[in-house]
Structures are given as C-alpha cells and as structure tokens.
Structure 1
C-alpha cells in the first residue's frame, strides 16, 4: 500500500508539473526532461509513469473531461431551470480555470492539439455538445432567445478559451481573469436580462 501511495503521489506531481509547463509554453515546447527536472526525477523514472509526452497530455485532457462532467452534474439537477444551469456551469468552469493549472493546461492542449484526445471527443467537443443541449432546453422551457444553440455554445467556448490568454487585472494574483462580471455582461447581452443563476446551486450573479 505504501508503494502504491508513493506511485500515486509521484504521478500527481508529474501531472501538475507537466500542466504548469504545458500551460505556459504549449505542447511543442515541453519535453519529458523539463517535466522530470521540475520534480527532481530522472527521465527514466518518469518513463515508469508516463512513457511519452503525449501520455502526459492525454492524461490531463481525460482529467478535464471528468471535471466538466462532474461540474455539469453538480448544477444540472432534476427540476433545475436550464438557463440557470447553463450560466452556472459556464461561470463555475471559468472559476475553475482561474485556480486549476491542470484544467488550463488541458484546455490549451485540446485547443492546440485536438488529435491528442484518446476518445473521439476531447473536452472542448464535449463541452460544445453539452452547452448546445442546455441552450436547446432553455429555449424549450421558455425565456431564452431563439439564437442558434450551436452558435451560442461556440461563443461561450470562444470566451472560455480566451481566458487562457488573458492577463490578470492590476493587483489581481489570479492567473486567468474572467469572473462573474464578464459572464453577467455576456449573458445579459444574450438574453436581454441580468444574470439569473440561483436555483441551479449558485447565488445570483452580483449586480455591477
């Protein structure tokens, strides 16, 4: 058990170190040597956990898909208003991006190297499908304008991907800005009303 726990901790350290390098420099500029050096391992020892740079990247992308699925399940509960779920999931995912370097790295990898995903759909493709479905439901339930659901989903993903390259505001230590005021502005523009997140599990977005 002790050996398994050490192996698990080493794997987690390797994933976090790789994520920090992938997020900052991208896939092509990252090597197994730089990841090994960052955590004080030999390249050979790292091979025992990840035989290639691609295996590290795929592990991060797979993890991000789990993050997306879990986040949606947290808010998309029986009886929840679809428009509120849509906003809560998007804002919640953006919040995670600011604090989770492994998620930021995974999104950069999925955007820059779509062929890395092990399954037919990477996290961005799964998010597009899920967001499109939520927009469809919000329109069916009433209250959400009849924009193209696929186009709305793509717009939300464009903004989310843009957060990866945003600079923090002056005095803000968060690595990727893009908090609730941004999303309130976007959802107000989409729906013509103020942010409505609440019954899906988050407090209503603050008024500016």
Structure 2
C-alpha cells in the first residue's frame, strides 16, 4: 500500500472518529441538560447515539471525561463571544447588552452550552478539576457591569448582584415561551431582555424598535 493511500485512509478514519465524537457530545449534552450530572448515565448517552457502551468508551472513558469535554468546549464558545463583543472603543453597557442578548439566545439554541451551565451549577465539585463556565461568565458580567457603572451608564447597584440577577433570569427564561402555541420569536426575547437591561440601568435605551417590540410582546 502506497504512503499516500495510507494517509488518505488515516484521514478518513480520523474524520469518522471526529464526527462520532461530536455526535456523542451532542447526545451527552442532551442527557446532562435534562437529567443533570448525577442522573445522567453512559448507557443513556449510548442509546441516544445508537452505539454500544463499549464503543462509547472508545471515545470517552467515563461520564466525568464527557462532562469535562462539554465544559471545555463551552468555555471556548463563551470566550469567543466575549472577544467578539467586548472590543476596544465599545462602551461597556453596549458590550454587556450585546453579550447578554447573545447568551440568552444561545442558551435556548445550543444544548451544549445549556448542559455546561447546568453541570457547573449542579456539580460544583466537578469544577475543582474542570473549567468552571458559570464562574467565568459571572466574572465577565461583573467586570462589564462595573465598567458600565464607571462610565455612568448604570446605577451603582452591586455588580455581583446584577450579574446574578441576569443569570437567574436566563435560567428561568429557558422554561418560558412567548407568543402563540408557546413559540418564542427572536424579537420577543430581545424586547424582554432590553426591558430588563433598561430597568437595571435605571434609564431607557431610547430605541424605538425596542419599544415597538415590547408593545408587540405585550399584545401576545
């Protein structure tokens, strides 16, 4: 067998293994998001993927390594979100609003991030050896809130309390829907979050589009 053919076969195998690993992470995220860490099992994850438990062990040796992989990936996602919005020259209040809106939407759409936050809040003992995504998000929110206060765009409420309120609201929002038949559209959620952020800032955004969205939500 030629070296080029061998390399090609190896690349195909690596790509297949990568896709399988991603499928397992998605299945594990679904399981952790619904059951939490203590009730989730590798058997249930294997059933979601259609794999045997032995095949699953070939990619992840334990439930803990699965959780660790999800937490690591989710922290990377959060860091990318933060870097994209908290850029030099951007007001802290603007960066905070953009980040909160994006995080709220992602928590509804990204089961891996949702699972990671549940793991971080349900199992603090895991965080001794794994990335603490929840702590990182809270720390960054506190920093942005404090900077927004220094810039005069938010009243001097304790930043830690404001950050906790935002995170509690996000967690609760995962279990609430707006609109007909329980369907939440993006504009409705943006109106709700802008209203909360405006209330926390002690003022109004002056954004007519946000005001129209709030009126639309109120009519639903």
TM norm structure 1: 0.87
1:109-141 CA-partner distances (Å, limit 9, x unpaired): 111112223657511101111111111111112
Matched, 1:122 2:132: yes
Indicate the structure with greater helix content: 2
Q: Judging changes above 3 Å, is the alpha-carbon distance between structure 1 residues 116 and 3 closer, same or farther for their aligned structure 2 residues? A: same
Distance 2:169 2:161 in 1: 13
Q: Judging changes above 3 Å, is the alpha-carbon distance between structure 1 residues 91 and 54 closer, same or farther for their aligned structure 2 residues? A: same
> Which residue of 2 is the match for residue 191 of structure 1?
201
Distance 1:119 1:156 in 2: 26
Distance 1:139 1:205 in 2: 25
> Which residue of 1 is the match for residue 24 of structure 2?
14
Looking at both structures, which has the greater relative contact order when contacts are Cα pairs under 8 Å and sequence separation is at least 6?
A: 1
Matched, 1:32 2:36: no
> Which residue of 1 is the match for residue 163 of structure 2?
153
Matched, 1:55 2:58: no
Distance 2:147 2:206 in 1: 16
> Which moves more between the two structures, 152-161 or 49-58?
152-161
Matched, 1:206 2:210: yes
> Which residue of 1 is the match for residue 54 of structure 2?
44
Q: How many correspondences in the alignment?
A: 201
Among candidates 167, 186, 203, match of residue 176 of structure 2: 167
Q: Judging changes above 3 Å, is the alpha-carbon distance between structure 1 residues 65 and 122 closer, same or farther for their aligned structure 2 residues? A: same
Report the RMSD for the aligned CA atoms in angstroms: 2.4
> Which residue of 2 is the match for residue 74 of structure 1?
84
Distance 2:41 2:66 in 1: 10
* Structure whose CA Rg is larger: 2
Among candidates 160, 166, 182, match of residue 192 of structure 2: 182
Consecutive unaligned residues in structure 1, runs of 5 or more: 198-203
TM norm structure 2: 0.83
Consecutive unaligned residues in structure 2, runs of 5 or more: 1-10, 215-220
- The alpha-carbon deviation at position 54 of structure 1 amounts to 1.2
> Which residue of 2 is the match for residue 200 of structure 1?
none
- The alpha-carbon deviation at position 4 of structure 1 amounts to 0.7
> Which residue of 2 is the match for residue 144 of structure 1?
154
SS across alignment from 1:179: helix
Distance 1:117 1:90 in 2: 23
